[in-house]
Structure 1
Amino acid sequence: MKRGYGLVLGTIIAVLLACLAIYLYLKATPYQEQIDHGPAPEALANPYLAAEHFLRKQGLSVGHANGLDILPSLDPRQHSLLLFGDRYNMTPRQVDQIMNWTRAGGRLVFVAESLWDDRTGQSNDLLLDRVQLHQSLSKDLKDPPTAPGDDPYPKLTKLYLEDDAGPAYAGFDTAFHLEDPHNLAQAWANSAKATHMMQLNHGLGSIVVVTDADLWKNPPIDQYDNAWLLWYLTADTQVTLVFNTDHDNLVTLLLRYFPQALVALIALIGLGCWHAGVRHGPLQETPAPARRQLQEHLRASAAFMLRRNGQQSLLQALRQDILRRVRRRHQGFDQLGVAEQWLVLSRLTGQPTRAISQAMSPRPKQRLNSADFSRQVAHLQSLRNAL
């Protein structure tokens, strides 16, 4: 009977579970969700990582460097050098090396970094001044290259090629403008507002100057014809990308990673200088060694004890010394009464008991004058010497 009841209960539970599974299957709707974990560490470390991958897919050999030290090892023939990093610390010698490398057949692409100063006749960009191009703000232009009303995309830079029916569009920053006061440029690309790219011949090589390289960074490189333009400028060459020429010095690294340690070090140095520079009292000349006599030490020690402990402590020390000497000469002295002790002292020293009582009895805590204190000390010393 119990076995049949359990079988029925198990069947009911199985049916209920099957019904629940069918219900969930009918109600459940599968979907796909993409979770964006943000840029990979490689992309965060290299803002032109997507540009490198794109050029490699086009069959180009691409490498990158963090400085211009790699320049002597680069063959200028069929080689493109992209200078997309800060160059504010570039030296004239490095400028000469880059220009000689380009003259030997290299293809140079760099970003103009500074504005032309009419007052000084130069900018803070040595490389830009060497190619004799000027950069200015687009808002300062009087006559833009193209009338805004005739351009359907005034904020995009147009590059016209001979065999193409339409221009290629690039997303340069329209806030800056390149000028060619000596008519050296062989080709250029404009937006409706300004000129943002110029190409010049230099010996066996060529130089391309752009107002910015942000259009080739990871987020915007897939917009418009930005990626195609980078390939067009470096086609049929090996590519070396330099985007981090600003190396942090030791002080900058310490401030970035160990600020607490630097603060503690500065505080320690300050305290050391303060300790070495502060005088804690007037300087005194060292006394001659001949003056350091035993009598002076004893007098100084007595004066110190008198100032620190008072007269009664010195007198009490003499009394204790007298009692120690009496105990050595008379056995059982401590068991005697006070009067009997005075009699023993009188017999041993030859002094009357009255004088002994006055000398050995503690006096009220009052300061004695110098004469009374000296007499009291002399009396006690005579008793001690007699023992």
Structure 2
Amino acid sequence: MNRRGWQALGAVVAVLFGALCFYLYLKATPYQEVVDHGPSPEARANPYLAAEQFLRQHNVPVTHANSLDVLPGIDPRQHSLLLFGDRSNMTPRQIDQVLNWTRAGGRLVFVAESLWDEKTGQSNDLLLDRVQLHQSLSKDLKDLPPDPDADPYPDLTKLYLEDADAPAYVSFDTAFHLEDPKNLAQAWANSGKATHMMQLNHGLGSITVVTDADLWKAPAIEQYDNAWLLWYLNADTSVTLLYNTDHDSLLTLLLRNFPQALVALAALIVLACWHVGVRHGPLLEPVPRARRQLQEHLRASADFILRRHGQDSLLQALQQDILRRARRRHPGFEQLAVAEQWLVLARLTRQPTRAISQALSPRPKQRLSSAEFSRQVAHLQTLRNAL
């Protein structure tokens, strides 16, 4: 293809590309799309972030804490303490601290965490027991007689206020019910069947007990009058929100985030202990086969017999061997009297009769000294070798 042909082809391609772009421009319609990336890291770390922001918007100062260590520095007057975290590890001393703070004028709001046990007369919630309220399951309550004025919202909790035309509706968990056996409560809020919030005075302060605090988490806080109830309980105060009274230990955090490193560290510690461990004794070198001679076996056998059966067994074995050899050297030896046997042995071994009698006479039961035992054995071996 010549130069003019390439130019024509390029012009055609340019025209087609321009036409395609113009067509796409006419057909393309711009639009906006919102991509939901889920809760922010702050919201995931703080389940009551929306509640804090709502209170601040209504001029209620809010701080949150992770433990009760901040309580001594909080002035109870015009201050609210919201215990929304797990309290299973609260000690009696901490409970006294919280109640004394409330008695001095603070407002305390906490969640009942355990059911009342009729058999033991207590629950696993020490703070709830101290304020003398009980929590039970709503399904265990007796059915009420039918009400001619049926409740249109039996699953919502109603809070009635003075000079109000209608109650406030909040969405407490209706599975639980609060009881006041001592009639201490000054106010309460009920659903169609159960009670889910109670308020009672405590010294100069007040205590509010609720069956759950999930209604103040996102997104439930924006439903019904949930947010309003939170403001109502804490109006004209400063708020400290305690939602994590139980810190994760260092070991728990390490197990959660660095399990492989902990396994490697444990293996390293085991190997180090094995390496520097104290032995029970020095290592013995293997005995070369050249040293395993008959004499060593005989010595080991004699040492074993000496330990197990004593000196008499070894001496008697030598004496019996002497008498057996004498019978072979002198026929009829066993039929002779003892004195005559000693005479025969003296003649055969060329040893004095006195030495023969000392060697073959029965030994006393007492143990011989090492030197005396060695002399006795040597004397018997001399007699035996002479036969």
Category of TM-score, reference length = shorter chain: 0.5 to 0.7
1:218 Cα deviation (Å)? 2.0
> Quick one: distance in 2 between partners of 1:125 and 1:201?
20
- Matched residue SS, 2:53: helix
Instruction: Report the counterpart of residue 228 of structure 1 in structure 2.
Output: 228
Q: Could you report, residue by residue, the CA deviation over 1:60-110 in whole angstroms, capped at 9, with x for unpaired residues?
A: 111100010111111111111100000111111111111111111111100
**2:52 partner amino acid:** E
Matches within 5 A, 1:259-274: 259-267=259-267
Instruction: Report the counterpart of residue 80 of structure 1 in structure 2.
Output: 80
Instruction: Report the counterpart of residue 45 of structure 1 in structure 2.
Output: 45
1:143 Cα deviation (Å)? 3.9
- Matched residue SS, 2:116: coil
Matches within 5 A, 1:64-213: 64-143=64-143, 150-213=150-213
Q: Tell me if 1:215 matches 2:219.
A: no
> Quick one: distance in 2 between partners of 1:51 and 1:145?
38
> Quick one: distance in 1 between partners of 2:269 and 2:31?
65
The more displaced of 28-37 and 238-247 is 28-37
Change (3 A) 1:46 1:267: same
1:253 Cα deviation (Å)? 2.5
Instruction: Report the counterpart of residue 295 of structure 1 in structure 2.
Output: none
Q: Could you report, residue by residue, the CA deviation over 1:325-376 in whole angstroms, capped at 9, with x for unpaired residues?
A: xxxxxxxxxxxxxxxxxxxxxxxxxxxxxxxxxxxxxxxxxxxxxxxxxxxx
Change (3 A) 1:148 1:115: farther
For the 8 Å contact 1:144–1:194, the answer to whether it is kept is no
Change (3 A) 1:11 1:273: closer
**1:80 partner amino acid:** S
> Quick one: distance in 2 between partners of 1:208 and 1:278?
66
Instruction: Report the counterpart of residue 353 of structure 2 in structure 1.
Output: none
Change (3 A) 1:214 1:27: same
> Quick one: distance in 2 between partners of 1:145 and 1:128?
30
Q: Tell me if 1:61 matches 2:61.
A: yes
- Matched residue SS, 2:43: helix
The aligned length equals: 290
Over the aligned positions, Cα root-mean-square deviation in angstroms equals: 3.4
The more displaced of 260-269 and 99-108 is 260-269
For the 8 Å contact 1:145–1:191, the answer to whether it is kept is no
> Quick one: distance in 2 between partners of 1:265 and 1:144?
63
Q: Could you report, residue by residue, the CA deviation over 1:198-220 in whole angstroms, capped at 9, with x for unpaired residues?
A: 01111111111000001111221
**2:153 partner amino acid:** Y
> Quick one: distance in 1 between partners of 2:77 and 2:248?
32
**1:254 partner amino acid:** L
Instruction: Report the counterpart of residue 20 of structure 2 in structure 1.
Output: 20
The more displaced of 256-265 and 73-82 is 256-265
- Matched residue SS, 2:212: coil
> Quick one: distance in 2 between partners of 1:54 and 1:220?
13
For the 8 Å contact 1:102–1:202, the answer to whether it is kept is yes
> Quick one: distance in 2 between partners of 1:255 and 1:82?
31
Change (3 A) 1:20 1:87: same
- Matched residue SS, 1:150: coil
> Quick one: distance in 1 between partners of 2:9 and 2:265?
80
1:278 Cα deviation (Å)? 8.5
Instruction: Report the counterpart of residue 341 of structure 2 in structure 1.
Output: none
**Structure 1 residue ranges without an equivalent (≥5):** 285-299, 309-387
- Matched residue SS, 1:200: strand
1:255 Cα deviation (Å)? 2.3
**1:39 partner amino acid:** P
Change (3 A) 1:264 1:7: closer
Q: Could you report, residue by residue, the CA deviation over 1:178-197 in whole angstroms, capped at 9, with x for unpaired residues?
A: 00001111111111121110
Instruction: Report the counterpart of residue 375 of structure 1 in structure 2.
Output: none
For the 8 Å contact 1:68–1:245, the answer to whether it is kept is yes
1:160 Cα deviation (Å)? 1.2
1:259 Cα deviation (Å)? 2.6
> Quick one: distance in 2 between partners of 1:183 and 1:97?
24
**1:207 partner amino acid:** I
For the 8 Å contact 1:78–1:238, the answer to whether it is kept is yes
- Matched residue SS, 1:207: strand
**Structure 2 residue ranges without an equivalent (≥5):** 293-387
For the 8 Å contact 1:145–1:194, the answer to whether it is kept is no
> Quick one: distance in 2 between partners of 1:283 and 1:21?
92
**1:132 partner amino acid:** Q
Instruction: Report the counterpart of residue 357 of structure 2 in structure 1.
Output: none
Change (3 A) 1:269 1:11: closer
Change (3 A) 1:271 1:203: same
**2:104 partner amino acid:** A
Change (3 A) 1:246 1:151: same
The more displaced of 247-256 and 258-267 is 258-267
The more displaced of 21-30 and 110-119 is 21-30
For the 8 Å contact 1:146–1:193, the answer to whether it is kept is no
> Quick one: distance in 2 between partners of 1:148 and 1:124?
39
> Quick one: distance in 1 between partners of 2:263 and 2:136?
43
Residue identity over aligned pairs, in percent, reads 74
> Quick one: distance in 2 between partners of 1:217 and 1:166?
25
